Structure 1
Amino acid sequence: MSTSLHHRAIEHLGTRIVAGDLPAGHVMLAEHLEEELKVSRSVVREAVRVLQSLGLVETTKRVGIRVLPASRWNPFDAQVIRWRLAGEGRGAQLRSLAELRTAVEPVAAELAAANAPEEIRRELLDVSHAMRDAGQSGDVPRFLELDIHFHSLLLTGSGNEMFANMVGQVAETLTGRTVHGLMPDHPRATALQWHVNLAEAIANGNPEAAREASDRIMRETISDMEPEWKNQPRVFVPVQRP
């Protein structure tokens, strides 16, 4: 099976479903997808299997491939996040991610200050200084790379494997903000310094200072991004009742 064809089929269908072009309840037939995408049945079958794993579709015998409502999607999957950031739901997705990070990263910073291995503490400090240099020089690709690495180290350094598994979501968030022109070429000097302060607090084993620095970064992020989600409706997922 061609990996590129497989990827193209997933991207084509996933993007259209998340954008609402294929609304909840819409039924597709495998033979029609073969014709539309100009791919084999095995490619369609594998693409549908991936979309099923993300909660975007379900297959029903003698009916077809049914698109599921947004409440069934896996909101933590990096692909779903990327597709949402590329569409009209960008603001709502940014808000959900920012609020999630605000709830998690300050705690992760506190835990990292108490528990991170020495090599992670040193690397965080090095990366924070490199981020400041890249931000001041306006090197956007380099800054994005370092920003992702910084927050990945922060989450991993917490010693909490569930926090560490949020690295993909954070990476998609930071990438999406950059790709869609929502990050300045030259980040504010205060924001750059706060990352250095956070790394220093972790390096020095100061949990309280680390949590405060991370909380400051995340609250500033929310303040900056709030116009993007103004008037965007919130998503209330139905509770699964016994």
Structure 2
Amino acid sequence: MELHGLHGQVVGRIGESLAAEEIRAGEVLRLEDVQERYGVSRTVAREAVRVLESKRVVTSRPRVGITVRPMDEWNLYDPQVIRWRLASPFRGAQLRELAELRAAVEPSAASLAATGASADAKNALLALAREMARVARTDDIQGFIAADLAFHRALLNASGNGMFAQLSEVTEELLVARRDLPLMPDHVDADSVRLHLRVAEAVSQGQAVDAAQCAGIIVDAAHREVEQLLEGGTPCALGGPPGTH
């Protein structure tokens, strides 16, 4: 959930500092420190700390103060936490973890969708794959990313696994990162469109093995692209080998 208002701004600024390790694990702050550093009232500072506690990035105790928790104790599935990490100097670790998560989950989701999704869910997935193809013909990068997000969200929902479905907001952060970070290629690749269509068709026809294999090709290529980017390479055509996603 995106936070608005003054306390939301304070949460974002503190979170970015934590992810960048400008404020380190184990460091103890006082509420007065938050007030002074960000120029806010005690009420705003207290509300910001409450939100940070809900994300498990800090603990707050009377007579102790606000203690920064180690990152492995944070709610790393919180989309805002993911964005903080992507904006930090350590974004490579977050990109890699997102790619690994997608590679682990989406092939299984495709297999489950093929065997258990409703006809409406299968038809919706086909429609989204065709929308990707339509947008790709115009070479509309932003439109393609939007259609891609909708496709992968629908695939996870179609799995019938509620926990997979709730991961959609997390795993799509990798796709959003291509838009928000300087990772954008210049063109949509036709191979990506064909692979997404093959996933949708396999799901529609109840072909679990084929659906999982095609989804695996997509996410494995996305994983390779992340590694290429982290090694200093440049993105290929959007969705194309090694940029199929």
Corresponding letter in the other structure for 1:203: S
Q: Shift of the alpha carbon at 1:75?
A: 1.3
2:232 aligned with 1:225 = no
1:17 aligns with: 18
Q: Shift of the alpha carbon at 1:197?
A: 0.7
1:44 aligns with: 45
Q: Shift of the alpha carbon at 1:77?
A: 1.1
1:68 aligns with: 69
Corresponding letter in the other structure for 1:138: D
Contiguous gaps of at least 5 residues in structure 2:
233-245
Deviation string 1:49-100 (CA, Å, 9 cap, x unpaired) is: 1111212111122221111111111111111111111112211111111111
2:59 aligned with 1:58 = yes
Q: Shift of the alpha carbon at 1:134?
A: 2.0
1:118 aligns with: 119
2:212 aligned with 1:211 = yes
Root-mean-square deviation (CA, aligned residues, Å) is: 1.7
Corresponding letter in the other structure for 1:180: L
Corresponding letter in the other structure for 2:5: S
How many pairs are equivalent? 230
Alpha-carbon separation, structure 1, partners of 2:212 and 2:36: 54
Moved more, 68-77 or 156-165: 68-77
1:57-96 residue pairs with structure 2 within 5 A?
57-96=58-97
Q: Shift of the alpha carbon at 1:132?
A: 2.2
| Residues 1:212 and 1:227: Cα distance change in structure 2 (over 3 Å) | same
- What is the DSSP-based 3-state SS (H/G/I as helix, E as strand, rest coil) of the residue aligned with 1:119? helix
Q: TM-score, normalised by structure 1?
A: 0.90
Moved more, 196-205 or 27-36: 27-36
Q: Shift of the alpha carbon at 1:214?
A: 0.2
Alpha-carbon separation, structure 2, partners of 1:97 and 1:212: 19
Deviation string 1:161-181 (CA, Å, 9 cap, x unpaired) is: 000010110222211122112
- What is the DSSP-based 3-state SS (H/G/I as helix, E as strand, rest coil) of the residue aligned with 1:174? helix
Moved more, 159-168 or 25-34: 25-34
Sequence identity (%): 40
Moved more, 34-43 or 150-159: 34-43
Q: TM-score, normalised by structure 2?
A: 0.88
1:93-108 residue pairs with structure 2 within 5 A?
93-108=94-109
Alpha-carbon separation, structure 2, partners of 1:49 and 1:79: 15
Alpha-carbon separation, structure 2, partners of 1:79 and 1:47: 14
Moved more, 138-147 or 199-208: 138-147
Q: Shift of the alpha carbon at 1:40?
A: 2.0
- What is the DSSP-based 3-state SS (H/G/I as helix, E as strand, rest coil) of the residue aligned with 2:60? strand
The structure 1 segments of at least 4 consecutive aligned residues displaced by more than 3 Å after TM superposition are: 228-231
Contiguous gaps of at least 5 residues in structure 1:
232-242
- What is the DSSP-based 3-state SS (H/G/I as helix, E as strand, rest coil) of the residue aligned with 1:124? helix
Corresponding letter in the other structure for 1:37: Y
8 Å CA contact 1:136–1:186 kept in 2: the answer is: no
